[in-house]
């Protein structure tokens, strides 16, 4: 596989599949890390265009992120897209990280503001907003830069229109592809696309899909983001909340139907799965879609 930039991946007619993974919280937990690699091995057969690797605010977990990037580079020959967050970061921190990833032929970066640490009142150094980070990365590298989009608005934004203005700043600063936050309502997602196109934002859009794995995971994610849930889905989640297997099946079935509708719309350039480091549900969804397996 030839490693490609975002421009090449998302300017083709093919809808690309990609995954997000995160480093285990405890960098001494080799068992969790090895399990993550086994999960990735199971997902490799769907020929993902890239795998994104998170790290925390201020660069926490950075060393472990680099270990994961190195493993993917050496064992999978798949594009890796590290996350860069700028909260609590200085330009020197970003430059150091950029130099560290050079040896892995990284072509793509996801530039984010990041969440402010809860134990610090104010943590701005050289950057306050993601568009400043995008502009800086583009000024010192030739990397393709992805940015985040929020179909129902960022949790800190007063409304969706304000958030779209921020998205335009990120794209105008050099953001080339938009990876969206999870969204469970396609009608709201399509209205979001209309709004961003009306704002003269023409960048390709990659839909962020979160398979619901458990009721507790669903509750946690809802508390962290501005996301609405269709009434029928919410009723079913509460109906089966004490049955983990039924919740997992519900999550797979709902995501499959949602993805089928999104693909039929021809409005997206990719499906980006927030795997939560688990292969099962993402694999089942992709099997249901009959599009991405290398055995097709």
pLDDT tens per residue, the chain (296 residues)? 567 889 899 987 889 999 999 988 765 577 888 999 999 999 999 999 999 999 755 555 667 888 899 899 889 989 999 998 877 777 888 888 888 888 888 999 999 877 665 655 556 667 778 899 999 999 999 999 999 999 999 888 889 999 999 999 999 999 999 999 999 999 999 999 999 999 999 999 999 999 999 999 888 888 778 889 999 999 999 999 999 999 999 999 999 999 999 999 999 999 999 999 999 999 999 999 987 655 44
User: What residue ranges define each of the domains in the chain, with the CATH number in brackets?
Assistant: 6-289 (3.20.20.220)
Asked if 20 is an active-site residue, the reply is yes
| pTM for the predicted model, two decimal places | 0.92
Catalytic residue among 20, 39, 132, 176: 20
The rounded distance, in Å, linking the Cα atoms of 110 and 14 is 21
């Amino acid at each position: 596989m030839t490693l490609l930039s975002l421009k090449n991946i998302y300017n083709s007619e093919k809808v690309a599949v990609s995954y997000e993974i995160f480093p285990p919280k405890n960098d001494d937990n080799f068992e969790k890390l090895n399990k993550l690699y086994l999960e990735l091995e199971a997902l490799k057969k769907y020929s993902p265009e890239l795998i994104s690797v998170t790290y925390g605010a201020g660069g926490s977990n950075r060393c472990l992120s680099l270990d994961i990037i190195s493993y993917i580079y050496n064992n999978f020959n798949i594009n890796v897209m590290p996350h860069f967050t700028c909260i609590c970061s200085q330009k020197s921190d970003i430059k150091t990280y950029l130099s560290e990833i050079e040896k892995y032929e990284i072509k793509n970066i996801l530039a984010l503001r990041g969440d402010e640490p809860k134990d610090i009142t104010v943590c701005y150094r050289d950057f306050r907003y993601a568009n400043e980070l995008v502009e800086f990365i583009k000024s010192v590298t030739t990397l393709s830069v992805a940015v985040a989009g929020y179909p129902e608005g960022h949790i800190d934004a007063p409304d969706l229109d304000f958030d779209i203005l921020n998205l335009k700043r990120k794209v105008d600063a050099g953001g080339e592809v938009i990876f969206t936050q999870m969204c469970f309502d396609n009608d709201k997602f399509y209205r979001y696309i209309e709004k961003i196109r009306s704002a003269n934002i023409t960048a390709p859009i990659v839909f962020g899909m979160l398979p619901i794995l458990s009721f507790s995971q669903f509750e946690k994610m809802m508390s962290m983001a501005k996301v609405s849930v269709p009434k029928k889905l919410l009723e079913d989640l509460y109906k089966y909340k004490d049955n983990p297997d039924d919740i997992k099946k519900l999550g797979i079935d709902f995501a499959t139907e949602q993805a089928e509708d999104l693909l039929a719309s021809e409005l997206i350039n990719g499906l980006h799965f927030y795997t939560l480091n688990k292969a099962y549900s993402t694999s089942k969804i992709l099997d249901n879609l009959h599009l991405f397996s290398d055995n097709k």
